Amino acid sequence: MTSEAMMAKQVIGGPVVINGRTLSLSRAVRAGDMVYLTGQVPMRDGAVMTDGSIEDQTRAVLDDIAATLALAGCALADVVKSMVWLTSRDDFPGFNAVYAEYFPHAPPARSAVVSDLLVDVKIEIEVIAYHPQTPTTSSGD
């Protein structure tokens, strides 16, 4: 594989469907050795998870992030940066405790802010991962 081919943008995962609507965004995109995930909100059976504690919603988001990273050949250990949006500062301790379970060693750099969200959930998380692609060689090159 040429370095040019390795740098090409690659969409990861299928279309993003929430509450029966297909959204105009990619679940994740690989560009070279970097993988960028769209902000993830808690989902259950294809619908936004508006109930549950901050701990439940955080687990749902991080499980979805892990599954999406796996589609790109990555793991949570490859995450180098996360951006977190909470709808209440009171939810930070509960979120932080669960987050520490998923990133127990060498956690990524992280930003966290309190903000309104576009859907009625308590949390949204976006991550960037670094995972070098292994160049393949073909015979005759």
d(CA 80, CA 34): 10
Domain boundaries along the sequence of the chain:
3-130
d(CA 94, CA 96): 5
Tens-of-pLDDT digits for all 141 residues of the chain? 455 555 688 989 877 777 778 887 888 999 999 999 999 999 988 788 899 999 999 999 999 999 999 999 999 999 999 999 999 999 999 999 999 999 999 999 999 999 998 889 999 999 999 999 876 555 554
Of 133, 112, 128, the closest CA to residue 29 belongs to 128
What is the pTM (predicted TM-score) of this model? 0.87
Of 38, 43, 37, 49, the closest CA to residue 76 belongs to 37
CATH 3.30.1330.40 for domain 3-130: yes
